[in-house]
Amino acid sequence: MHSHQPGQTWLAQGVKGLFSVVIPAYNEAKNLKSTLPPLIDALNHANIHHEIVVVDDNSTDNTQEVLADLKETYPTIRWVKNLPPNGFGLAVRCGLQAFMGDAVIIVMADGSDTPQDVVAFYQKLQEGYDCVFGSRFISGGKTVDYPVHKMILNRLANTFIRALFQIRYNDTTNAFKCYKRHVIAGLHPLLAHHFNLTVELPLKAIIRGYRYAVIPNAWYNRKEGVSKLKIREMGSRYLFIVLYCLIERLFSRGDYKFNTQVQT
């Protein structure tokens, strides 16, 4: 294990053929025990050369002990420690600085994402896309035990984003997304510290012209612990990132554009 912070050396070229799974974790020891083994087994079964990068977001439980135990059986696990301050977005950004693959997917530690979907996203990426985005609200997607109040806010927020940016993608706030390494490099500088990073990454990728595919994914509510998303705290932060990206889209005159061909 080592600590990591923005500004440390980042590999411009990833390890060819290595698929990185970045998992932010704050007090998720119980969930990691049940989440990591089936995920790694699925990746191995699909013959996907991979690494599992768990970002310990300054947990106060026995996360590190659990990871050390798991690593004895699953050597593709490694972990880094996010230096304070804490925050979901900062933890993911730490992982996006630390991953070594030529592609990366962001997966939740609480088991809300399925190993089968991780494999499906990797396979879709191999078709030549720069990014693969998940949607829980298209044919084949589903949510299980999604809190009603969060569902209402989710649908309102995504409708608002679709209208502002004139896009068909209907699940921008979904954290479960996959990117090639050059895309992550091309999305900098990243600003979000919290869950609003889940919106910043795909909106910038779309605005900057990276080629993306949307496929269905499933979401299951956590069985252990409590969600780290605090809706009251996040409203203005989401709005800030959305408006920031909108300003880039409207006024940057394509200065950050990578590719004008976008797959929806």
pTM of the model: 0.90
The tokens describing 43, both together, are: 């990746």
φ, ψ at 246 (rounded to 5°): -65, -40
Residue 3, in any domain of the structure: no
Amino acid at 207: I
Residue 6, in any domain of the structure: no
Name the domain count of the chain. Answer: 1
Summarised one tens digit per residue, pLDDT across range 157-204 is 999 999 999 999 999 999 999 999 999 999 999 999 999 999 999 999
φ, ψ at 76 (rounded to 5°): -80, -5
Summarised one tens digit per residue, pLDDT across range 26-56 is 999 999 999 999 999 999 999 999 999 999 9
CA–CA distance, 153 with 46 (Å, rounded to integer): 36
List, in sequence order, the alpha helices (H) in 176-225: 181-186, 197-207
What's the DSSP call for residue 83?
Answer: P
Q: Give the list of residues 6+ apart from residue 89 with CB closer than 8 angstroms, or none.
A: 190, 192, 193, 194, 195, 196, 197, 200
Residue 197, in any domain of the structure: yes
Q: Which candidate, 59, 108, 61, 103, places its Cα nearest to that of 81?
A: 59
Q: Which candidate, 80, 25, 239, places its Cα nearest to that of 34?
A: 25
Residue 258, in any domain of the structure: no
Q: CA separation (Å) from 232 to 24, 150, 235, 237, 238? A: 21, 11, 6, 10, 11
Residue 182, in any domain of the structure: yes
User: Domain residues for 226?
Assistant: 13-251
Summarised one tens digit per residue, pLDDT across range 72-102 is 999 999 999 999 999 999 999 999 999 999 9
* CB 82 within 8 Å of CB 4: yes
CA–CA distance, 188 with 159 (Å, rounded to integer): 26
Q: What is the CATH number of the domain that holds 57?
A: 3.90.550.10
Residue 78, in any domain of the structure: yes
